[in-house]
Amino acid sequence: MAFDARHVYYDGKVQQSHGDVFRTIDPSTGNTLADIHSANPTDVDVAIFSASKAFPSWSSTPPMARSRILLKAVSLLRERNDEIAKLETSDTGKPFSETSTVDVVTGADVVEYFAGLVAGGGLNGETIQLREDAWVYTKKEPLGVCAGIGAWNYPIQIALWKSAPCLAAGNTMVYKPSEVTPLHAQVLAEIYTEAGLPPGVFNVVYGAGDVGGYLTSHPRIAKVSFTGQVATGKKVAGSAAGNMKYVTMELGGKSPIIVLPDADIENAVDGAMMANFFSTGQVCTNGTRVFVPEPMKSAFEQKLLEKMQYIRAGNLSNAETNFGPLVSRMHYEKVMGYISHGIKVDKAKLLYGGLEKPEGLPEDLTNGYWVRPTIFTDCTDSMKIIKEEIFGPVLNILTYKNIEEAVERANNTELGLAAGVFGRDLNMAHKVVSRLEAGITWINTWGESPAEMSVGGWKQSGVGVENGRRGIEAWVRNKSTLVDMSDTIQTVFAKL
C-alpha cells in the first residue's frame, strides 16, 4: 500500500480502531492507496471522552497561548506543504499544481487568521453602562466538544476551516473526514500534536454515514459543523436541532453567473471556465448556469471553444496538468449519468466534451475516473442538468433577453450558495449582485475565498458562515452578566 493504514486518533496519538475496514483509492488510476479502519461506536465514545477531558483545561488556556500553538501548526503546515499536497493529490485526484498552491495554503491561512483574531481580542465581549451604578458585561464562551464532518472535495482545507475557529475559541473537536478522501486527517492530527496542542483537543474518527450519524447525534456533542450534500445536511441538522445542538451547514449549490451585455468576453469566459472546470468541477460554489445575453452567445461560445484546449488532463504530478479525474467510481457514474441525461433526455446541445474519456491519457491512467470537460448550450431552465447539482465539469449556457429576466431566472432555485456577475459598468454589476439570492457573490472574478471573507449558503445551501470575523461566532455562546452596585434590591415585595 502507498500509505499506512489509518486508525482513530485520540489522547494525542493513533489508537486501535474496532470497526470495519474500507479502502481509499487513487482516482487517477483506480489503485488502492490505504486501508482505513472505521471507528465502532465505542471508539467514537472514547474519542468524545478524550475531547471532553481536554475541554476544561483548553477552554481556560488564555487565547494568546492557544494562538501561539495554532501559529506553530501554521508553520508546520507550510513547511510540509508539498508533502501534504502530494498526499491530497493521491487521495482526491486533483493535480499537484492545484493542491500545492491552494488546498494546504488556504487552510493554513485560516488557522493563521483565527489565531490572530483571538490573540487580538476577537473573543472579547461588550460592556454596557446601564446606569451609573449598574452595567452589563458579555463574554463569548466556547461551546464544548464539537463534531466536524468533512466532504471529500477539499479534505485538508475543510478540516482546517472547521478546526481553526473551533480550537481558537477554546472548544475541542472530534473530526470525521469523508470516507472517500480520509488520508489527510491523521497528518493534520499529528501536526497539531507536534505544534503543542494538548492530547484530546483534536481527535479523528473514520467511517461512512453511520459513524457520522453516531458522532453528530451523540449527547456529549455541543455543536456540529457539517460540509456535504443538501440531503445529508438536512438529516444531520434535523437530528442536531432535536437535541438543541448548534449547527453550521455548508451544503451544495447550483450557482448562476450573469454575463452582462457590456462584459469583456474574454474575462467572462475565463471566469466561467474557472467556475466550472477548476478541480474538475468538484467545487461547491461552481457557477454552472452561465447566463449570456442573446446577442453575445455566438462570440461567447467561440471564445470558450478556443480556450478549451488549455484544459490539460494527464499525469497529476506534471506541473502543466490542470485537470484531474473525478474523485471516485461512484461519483464518475453520477456525473456521466447527468451528461448522458443532458444529451439524451434534456436534449441540450452538446458544444464540447461528452461521454468519452479525455484524449491522450497515458496508459497507466486509463482505469481512472476521467471525464471530458463538457459544455452544453441552448439550455432551458426546466432541464435536469440546469436544476440539479452535478458536481462535475459541466458548464451550461443559457441565453437571456433582459437583465430583469436573467436575475429572476438566476434566483429561481432552492439553492443559494454562490452567484456572480461579469460586466464593465460597476454600478450595474453592484445592482445586479445585490439582487442575487446567494451568500457568496463575486463581481468580475470567481472562486477566491480568502480567510477574511465570511462564506456560507442561503436558502437550502446552508446555515451560518465559515471564515472572516463572523466565522468565530459560530463556535461561541454568549453569556451576559448584569452587575448592580447600588446596594439596594429593587423589589415589588415591599410593605405597602
Sites of contact with ligand NAD (CB under 6 A): 149-154, 176, 178-179, 208-209, 212-213, 216, 227-229, 232, 235-236, 250-253, 284, 389, 391, 417, 457, 462
Residue that has been written with the C-alpha cell 513547511 in this structure: 79
Residue 57: CB minimum distance to ligand NAD, A = 28
Residue 98: CB minimum distance to ligand NAD, A = 15
Annotation says 250 is catalytic? yes
Write down the catalytic residue from 98, 112, 179, 250: 250
Residue 338: CB minimum distance to ligand NAD, A = 13
Residue 147: CB minimum distance to ligand NAD, A = 8
Could you tell me if 349 and 342 are in contact, meaning their C-beta atoms sit under 8 angstroms apart?
Answer: no
Nearest to 11 by CA among 47, 61, 63, 57: 47
Which amino acid appears at position 55 of this protein?
Answer: F
Nearest to 172 by CA among 150, 192, 151: 192
Question: What Rg do the C-alpha atoms of the chain give, in angstroms?
Answer: 24
Nearest to 200 by CA among 485, 8, 1: 8
CA atoms 336, 275, 284, 293: torsion sign: negative
Closest CB to ligand NAD among residues 214, 300: 214
Closest CB to ligand NAD among residues 141, 210: 210
Residue 35: CB minimum distance to ligand NAD, A = 17
Rounded-to-integer distance, Cα 98 and Cα 152, Å: 15
Closest CB to ligand NAD among residues 50, 460: 460
Phi, psi for 441 (deg, rounded to 5): -130, 150
Closest CB to ligand NAD among residues 66, 176: 176
Closest CB to ligand NAD among residues 231, 355: 231
Residue that has been written with the C-alpha cell 453602562 in this structure: 129
User: Which residue's Cβ lies closest to ligand NAD?
Assistant: 212
Residue 426: CB minimum distance to ligand NAD, A = 27
Q: Cβ of 159: how many Cβ atoms within 10 Å?
A: 25
Rounded-to-integer distance, Cα 291 and Cα 296, Å: 10
Nearest to 26 by CA among 326, 323, 280, 318: 326
Could you tell me if 39 and 213 are in contact, meaning their C-beta atoms sit under 8 angstroms apart?
Answer: no
Q: Measured in whole angstroms, how far is the alpha carbon of residue 226 from the centre of its chain?
A: 9
Closest CB to ligand NAD among residues 153, 322: 153
Q: Please, what is the end-to-end C-alpha distance for the chain in angstroms?
A: 85
Rounded-to-integer distance, Cα 88 and Cα 92, Å: 6
Closest CB to ligand NAD among residues 153, 399: 153
Phi, psi for 349 (deg, rounded to 5): -85, 125
The percent helix, strand, coil of the chain (3-state, each to 5) is 40, 20, 40
Residue 208: CB minimum distance to ligand NAD, A = 5
Length of the chain in terms of residues written: 496
E strand residue ranges, 219-367: 223-227, 246-250, 256-259, 289-293, 349-352
Closest CB to ligand NAD among residues 314, 468: 468
Q: Measured in whole angstroms, how far is the alpha carbon of residue 378 from the centre of its chain?
A: 31
Residue 431: CB minimum distance to ligand NAD, A = 26
Catalytic residues: 250
